[in-house]
Copies of this chain bind each other. A is one copy, B any other.
Amino acid sequence: MTNRKSQIIELTLKNIQEKGFTSFSYDHLAKELGVTKASIHYHFEKKEDLGVAVCERIQKGLGEAYTVIKESTVAAEEKPFAFILRRIKFLEQNGVCPITALQADYQELSPSMQEKVQQLSQMEVDVLVELLQDAKNHGSLQSTMDLEALAILLISSTKGALQYKRVLGEDFFHKMLEQLKKLLK
């Protein structure tokens, strides 16, 4: 099983979304996989190494989502929201956004992970700004907002809403999504 490695990464991603980086353990991970801790240490010597691998996994997913949306036949003005919807669909399966979870644990992370989380956060913004810029160039986005500020607003509110959803239930969540869509007119 050479894909045990990616199996571990996927399971860790889920655990980070559910518990956060500092709160999941190799022991718990191992039990879920039906192996021992030592086996996971074989694939990722330190927890930090596993963390970095998960960040790269997230980065890849983010890049793929961008490419898919960018190259899709959807109208340019629909793309920012389509991108957000796509990310939510991916995230909703396991809880809150893993990047949010990593940001919350930021001060406890190793320098190598902090750097990755920085890159991830920046990439999230950049990718959405590009889609917003395209929409604006097509004359379809009326917003007079600074696009970076709009991007953070969209990203933050979506992720924040996911946290409220976990605590308060689904109701607000869909209401809020509809309202977000209106912001993008």
A binding-site residues for B, Cβ under 8 Å: 18-20, 22-23, 95-96, 100-101, 103-108, 117-118, 121-122, 125, 144-146, 148-150, 152-153, 155-161, 163-164, 166-168, 172, 175-176, 178-180, 182
Of the residues B108, B145, B180, contact of A23 by C-beta under 8 Å: B108
A163 contacts across to B, CB distance below 8 A = 100, 103-104, 106, 156
- Beyond A152-B161, A157-B153, whether A18 also contacts B176 by CB under 8 A is no
Nearest chain-B residue to A144 (Cβ)?
Answer: B182
A22 contacts across to B, CB distance below 8 A = 20, 22-23
A70 CB, nearest partner CB in chain B, Å:
23
A13 CB, nearest partner CB in chain B, Å:
15
Nearest chain-B residue to A103 (Cβ)?
Answer: B163
Is the CB–CB distance between A178 and B149 below 8 Å?
yes
- Beyond A155-B160, A179-B149, whether A167 also contacts B117 by CB under 8 A is yes
Is the CB–CB distance between A175 and B146 below 8 Å?
yes
Is the CB–CB distance between A175 and B148 below 8 Å?
yes
Is the CB–CB distance between B146 and A107 below 8 Å?
no
Nearest chain-B residue to A150 (Cβ)?
Answer: B179
A157 contacts across to B, CB distance below 8 A = 152-153, 156-157, 160
Is the CB–CB distance between A19 and B108 below 8 Å?
yes
A8 to B121, CA, bound (A): 33
- Beyond A148-B172, A152-B160, A176-B153, whether A104 also contacts B104 by CB under 8 A is yes
A100 contacts across to B, CB distance below 8 A = 104, 160, 163
Is the CB–CB distance between A104 and B96 below 8 Å?
yes
